[in-house]
Amino acid sequence: MSEIDYDSNKTFAAAVERSKKIEEDIAVNPTKYRVLTGDRPTGRLHIGHYFGSLQNRVRLSKMGVPTMILIADYQVLTDHDAFQEISQNTKQLVIDYLSAGIEPSENVIIYPHSYVPECNQLMLPFLTLVSNAELSRNPTVKEEIQSAGLKNVNAGMYTYPIHQACDILFCKGNVVPVGKDQLPHLELTRTIARRFNEKFCKDRDPVFPMPQALLSKTPSILGLDGSQKMSKSRGNAIFLSATEDETAALIKKAKTDADRNITYDPVNRPEVANILMLISLCTKEAPEAIAQRIGDGGGGMLKKMLTEALNEELRPLRQKRAELEKNPDYIRQVLLDGSERARAIAVKTLSEVREAMNMVI
C-alpha cells in the first residue's frame, strides 16, 4: 500500500486549489455536499475558530448544505488529564455556535461523538487500515505533543486522527471546513476511505466518499504571542465570550515588534501582520491599506484599531451569547436532538460497513 504523504506544502497547495473548486460548485449544488466539522470541548471558541472555520460553517449551513457539527469529547482525553469540565465546555461550545449564527434543524446537527456509539465502532476496522509508522509521522500530532509538553504520550494521542476519520466518514461527510493544522488528518481520512473501498468494496459500490478540506481565507490565525497558532489550550487566545474590557486588555499584551512604522509583511513581521489581518477580517479593508493608514502610529495605534474593530464585530454575537446562557435546558435539548439524528445516520453506515466486511450473521 502506498504511504500517506503528509507534506504540508504539497497538501496545502492542493487543498487551496480544491477549496476554490468546491466553493464554486457548492453555490450551484448545495445538497450534493455534507459538511462535517467540529471542535474539542477543551474550552470556549476563540477568534481563530471564528475566522478560520466557524464563519464558513455558518455560511454553508445558510446556503442549505447539510451540516454536522461534532463536539469531540473523547478527544479531550488524548492530551488533557482534566476531564471535570467536559460537559460544561460542551454546552459552552453550543452557545458559541448558536450565537455565531448556526441554527440547529433536521439538516444542521450538533452532537457530542460520545453519544454516537455506532460512529465510534468504525474505529476497529479503521485501525487495521493504517500502519503504526503512518500514525507516528503525523506532523500535527507531533506538534501537539511538543506544545503540550507531553512526557507520556498515550495511544489515544496517536490514534485520534483515525477517530476523526470515523467522525467524518460515518455521516459520509464530503466537505470539511478546517484550519491548516487539520490537513494531515484529512489526508489520513481520505486514505482510510480509499483503502476501505479498495479492500472491501471490490464487488459493490464504494461505502465512503473522498472528503475534501475547505480552507478559509485565513486557515491559520496566530495567537497573541505571535509565535504559534491561536489555541484554546495555549493561553494565547481571544475568546468569543470575552468582555470588551478583557478583549482590550488581551490585545494590549499582544506581541508586536520594535519598528514603529507599521507595514504588512507576513514573512518578516508575523506578529504585526497577524494583527493587521485580524483588523482586516473585521473591517474588510485590505491589510496593506490599514498598515498605510497607521504608518508611524506604531503598535499602540495598531492595537487600538484591533480592539475597536473586534469589539464591534463581536458585539451582536456576545449579546446573543448572554441570552442563550440564560436557557441551559434549550442548549441541552439541542445536543440530545442532534445526538439522536446523528445516531440514525451512524446506524445506517455501520450496517453498510458490516455488509461490506462480510460480518452480517
Q: Is 47 or 290 the residue whose CB approaches ligand ATP more closely?
A: 47
Task: Give phi and psi for 347, each to the nearest 5.
Answer: -60, -40
Query: 114, 140, 220, 263: which one contacts ligand ATP (CB under 6 A)?
Result: 220
DSSP of 174-230: -EEEE-GGGHHHHHHHHHHHHHHHHHH-TTS--S----EEEE-S-S--B-TTSSSB-
Q: Considering the rule CB under 6 A, would residue 233 count as an interface residue with ligand ATP? A: yes
By CB under 6 A, tell whether 211 contacts ligand ATP.
Answer: no
Specify the DSSP class assigned to residue 234.
G
Query: For residues 319 and 12, what is the distance between their CA atoms, to the nearest angstrom?
Result: 36
- Per-residue x/- mask for ligand ATP, residues 234 to 253, rule CB under 6 A? x-------------------
Name the one range near ligand ATP by CB under 6 A: 159-167, 213-221, 333-341, 342-350.
Answer: 213-221
Q: How far is the CB of 146 from ligand ATP (least distance, A)?
A: 13
Q: Of 199 and 234, which CB lies nearer to ligand ATP in the complex structure? A: 234
Site string for ligand ATP, 157-196 (x = CB under 6 A): ---------------------xx-xx--------------
Cell numbers that stand for 209 in this block: 466518499
Among 4, 169, 207, 221, binds ligand ATP (CB under 6 A): 221
CB of 191 to ligand ATP, least distance (A): 19
Residue 229 binding ligand ATP, by CB under 6 A: yes
Shortest Cβ 18–ligand ATP spacing (Å): 16
Of the listed pieces 44-52, 115-123, 130-138, 317-325, which binds ligand ATP according to CB under 6 A? 44-52
Output 172 or 232, the one with its CB closest to ligand ATP: 232
Indicate left, alpha or beta for 172 from its phi (over 0: left) and psi (-120 to 50: alpha): left
Dist. CA 328–CA 337, nearest whole Å: 14
Instruction: Give least dist CB 141 to ligand ATP, A.
Output: 11
Interface with ligand ATP includes 40 (CB under 6 A)?
Answer: yes
> What is the C-alpha separation between 289 and 301, in angstroms, rounded?
14
Total residues contacting ligand ATP (rule CB under 6 A)? 20
Q: Is residue 42 close enough to count as binding ligand ATP by CB under 6 A?
A: yes
Euclidean distance between CA atoms 304 and 300, whole angstroms: 6
Q: Which residues of 255-289 are buried (b: 16+ CB within 10 A; e: fewer)?
A: bbeeeeebbbeeeebebbbbbbbbbbbbbeeebee
Residue type, 295: G
Residues whose CB falls within 8 Å of the CB of residue 73, separated by 6 or more in sequence, listed in order: 40, 41, 86, 90, 112, 113, 114
Say if CB 228 and CB 147 are below 8 A apart: yes
Contact positions toward ligand ATP, by CB under 6 A?
Answer: 39-40, 42, 48-49, 52-53, 178-179, 181-182, 219-221, 229-234
